[in-house]
Structure 1
Amino acid sequence: MADATPPAPTPQETQEGPSKSELKKRAKQAEKDKKAAEKAAKQAELAQQQAATEGDFATDFYGKLPLHQSQSRSGKTRVAISSLSASRDGETVLLRARVHTSRAQGNKMVFLNLRQRTDSVQALLLVTPEKVSKQMVKWAAGISDESIVLVEGVVKKSPEPIKSASVQDVEVHISKLHLISGIEGRLPFSLEDASRADEEVASSEVQMNRVLLDTRLNNRVVDLRTQTNQAVFKLQSAIGDLFRGYLSSQGFIEIHSPKLQGAATESGASVFKVGYFKGNAFLAQSPQLAKQMCIAADFERVYEVGPVFRAEDSNTHRHLTEFMGLDLEMTIEEHYHEVMELLDSLFLSIFRGLKEKYSKEIEVVGKQFPADEFKWREGPEGTLKLSFREAVNLLVEDGVDRAVLDDINTENEKRLGRIVRAKYETDYFIIDKFPMELRPFYTMPDPEDPTLSNSYDFFMRGEEILSGAQRIHDAEFLCKQMKAKGVEPDSMKGYVDAFRMGCPPHGGGGIGLERVLMLFLKLNNIRRASLFPRDPKRLEP
Structure 2
Amino acid sequence: MTEPTPSQPAPAEKPAAAAPAGGEENKGPSKSALKKAQKEKEKAEKKAAAKARELAERQKKEAADALDVSKEDYGELPLCGSAEFKPTGLKREDLSNVESLEDKEIVFRCWVENARVQSAKLAFLNLRQGLNTVQAVVAASDKLSKQMVKFCGSVTTESTLVVTGLVKRVQEPIKSATIKNFEIHITKLFVEVKAQSPLPLQVDDAERPIPSGLGDEEEQADDGKPIVGLNTRLNNRTIDLRAKINHSIFVIKSGVCALFQEFLGQKGFTLIHTPKILGAASEGGANVFELKYFDRPAYLAQSPQFYKQMLIASRFQKVMEIGPVFRAENSNTARHLTEFTGLDLEMEIQENYHEVMTVLEDLMLFIFKELNTRFKKETDLVRSVYHVDEFKLPESGKVPRIPFQEGIKMLREAGEELGDYDDLTTPQEKHLGRLVLEKYGTDFYVLDQFPLAIRPAYTMPSPHDSKLSNSYDMFMRGQEILSGAQRIHNADLLADMMRKHDPPIDPNSAGTKDYVESFRYGCPPHGGGGFGLERIVQFWLGLPNIRMTSLFPRDPQRVIP
Task: Flag whether TM exceeds 0.5 (same fold).
Answer: yes
Once the two structures are TM-superposed, the CA of residue 204 in structure 1 deviates from its matched residue by 5.6
Of the candidates 529, 534, 554, which is equivalent to residue 514 of structure 1? 534
Secondary structure (helix, strand or coil) at the match of 2:535 reads helix
AA of the residue aligned to 1:536: P
Secondary structure (helix, strand or coil) at the match of 1:328 reads strand
CA 198–275 in structure 1, closer or farther in 2 if over 3 Å, else same:
closer
Distance 1:155 1:238 in 2: 32
1:312 is aligned to 329
Q: What aligned pairs does 1:90-489 form with structure 2 within 5 A after superposition?
A: 90-130=103-143, 132-197=144-209, 206-378=223-395, 382-403=398-419, 406-485=422-501, 486-489=504-507
Once the two structures are TM-superposed, the CA of residue 185 in structure 1 deviates from its matched residue by 4.1
CA 511–153 in structure 1, closer or farther in 2 if over 3 Å, else same:
same
Distance 2:421 2:522 in 1: 38
Distance 1:111 1:267 in 2: 62
Displacement over 6 Å in runs of 4+: 43-49
* TM-score normalised per structure 1: 0.88
1:35-82 per-residue CA deviation (whole Å, 9 max, x = no partner) reads xxxxxxxx9999897466342121110000011128442111001111
2:48 is aligned to none
Distance 1:279 1:494 in 2: 20
Q: Is the 8 A contact 1:109 1:126 kept in 2?
A: yes
2:518 is aligned to 498
Q: Is the 8 A contact 1:272 1:311 kept in 2?
A: yes
Percentage of matched positions with identical amino acids: 47
Once the two structures are TM-superposed, the CA of residue 93 in structure 1 deviates from its matched residue by 0.3
Q: Is the 8 A contact 2:362 2:396 kept in 1?
A: no
1:243-286 per-residue CA deviation (whole Å, 9 max, x = no partner) reads 00000000100000010001112233100000011101100000
Q: Is the 8 A contact 2:401 2:448 kept in 1?
A: yes
Q: Is the 8 A contact 1:518 1:529 kept in 2?
A: yes
Q: Which has the higher helix share?
A: 1
2:95 is aligned to 81
Once the two structures are TM-superposed, the CA of residue 367 in structure 1 deviates from its matched residue by 1.7
Q: Is the 8 A contact 2:365 2:396 kept in 1?
A: no
CA 170–445 in structure 1, closer or farther in 2 if over 3 Å, else same:
same
- Number of aligned residues: 495
| Unaligned runs of at least 5 residues, structure 2 | 1-54, 212-217
Distance 2:395 2:298 in 1: 46
AA of the residue aligned to 1:487: I
Is the counterpart of residue 65 in structure 1 residue 82 in structure 2? no
Distance 2:111 2:57 in 1: 28
CA 62–437 in structure 1, closer or farther in 2 if over 3 Å, else same:
same
Secondary structure (helix, strand or coil) at the match of 2:125 reads strand
Q: Is the 8 A contact 2:421 2:451 kept in 1?
A: no
Once the two structures are TM-superposed, the CA of residue 448 in structure 1 deviates from its matched residue by 3.2
Secondary structure (helix, strand or coil) at the match of 1:465 reads strand
AA of the residue aligned to 1:76: L
Q: Is the 8 A contact 1:191 1:223 kept in 2?
A: yes
Q: Is the 8 A contact 2:219 2:228 kept in 1?
A: no
Once the two structures are TM-superposed, the CA of residue 510 in structure 1 deviates from its matched residue by 0.3
My pick for the range that moved more, 134-143 or 248-257, is 134-143
CA 204–292 in structure 1, closer or farther in 2 if over 3 Å, else same:
closer
Secondary structure (helix, strand or coil) at the match of 1:489 reads coil
Distance 1:482 1:44 in 2: 90
**Larger-gyration structure (1/2):** 2
Q: Is the 8 A contact 1:58 1:136 kept in 2?
A: yes
Distance 1:176 1:457 in 2: 58
Q: Is the 8 A contact 1:117 1:225 kept in 2?
A: no
CA 386–45 in structure 1, closer or farther in 2 if over 3 Å, else same:
farther
Q: Is the 8 A contact 1:96 1:149 kept in 2?
A: yes
Once the two structures are TM-superposed, the CA of residue 88 in structure 1 deviates from its matched residue by 2.3
CA 417–49 in structure 1, closer or farther in 2 if over 3 Å, else same:
farther
1:484-538 per-residue CA deviation (whole Å, 9 max, x = no partner) reads 1211111121111111111000000000000000000001110011111000001
Distance 1:324 1:126 in 2: 50
Once the two structures are TM-superposed, the CA of residue 189 in structure 1 deviates from its matched residue by 2.2
CA 205–404 in structure 1, closer or farther in 2 if over 3 Å, else same:
same
AA of the residue aligned to 1:103: R
| Unaligned runs of at least 5 residues, structure 1 | 1-42
Secondary structure (helix, strand or coil) at the match of 1:67 reads coil
* TM-score normalised per structure 2: 0.85
Secondary structure (helix, strand or coil) at the match of 1:494 reads helix
Secondary structure (helix, strand or coil) at the match of 1:102 reads strand
Distance 2:413 2:162 in 1: 63
CA 45–96 in structure 1, closer or farther in 2 if over 3 Å, else same:
farther
AA of the residue aligned to 1:184: Q
Q: Is the 8 A contact 2:327 2:339 kept in 1?
A: yes
1:56 is aligned to 68
Q: Is the 8 A contact 2:162 2:191 kept in 1?
A: yes
Q: Is the 8 A contact 1:197 1:367 kept in 2?
A: no
Q: Is the 8 A contact 2:483 2:531 kept in 1?
A: yes
Once the two structures are TM-superposed, the CA of residue 203 in structure 1 deviates from its matched residue by 8.9
2:6 is aligned to none
CA 294–47 in structure 1, closer or farther in 2 if over 3 Å, else same:
farther
Q: Is the 8 A contact 1:198 1:368 kept in 2?
A: no
1:135-159 per-residue CA deviation (whole Å, 9 max, x = no partner) reads 1111112111111000000000111
Distance 2:60 2:377 in 1: 49
Once the two structures are TM-superposed, the CA of residue 202 in structure 1 deviates from its matched residue by 7.8
AA of the residue aligned to 1:124: V
Distance 1:48 1:455 in 2: 83
Q: Is the 8 A contact 1:151 1:176 kept in 2?
A: yes
Once the two structures are TM-superposed, the CA of residue 469 in structure 1 deviates from its matched residue by 0.2
Distance 2:378 2:228 in 1: 22
CA 181–501 in structure 1, closer or farther in 2 if over 3 Å, else same:
same
Q: Is the 8 A contact 1:308 1:323 kept in 2?
A: yes
Distance 1:290 1:164 in 2: 52
1:461-501 per-residue CA deviation (whole Å, 9 max, x = no partner) reads 11000000000101111111111121111112111111111
CA 204–308 in structure 1, closer or farther in 2 if over 3 Å, else same:
closer
Once the two structures are TM-superposed, the CA of residue 205 in structure 1 deviates from its matched residue by 5.1
Distance 1:292 1:454 in 2: 16
Q: CA RMSD in A?
A: 2.0
AA of the residue aligned to 1:386: I
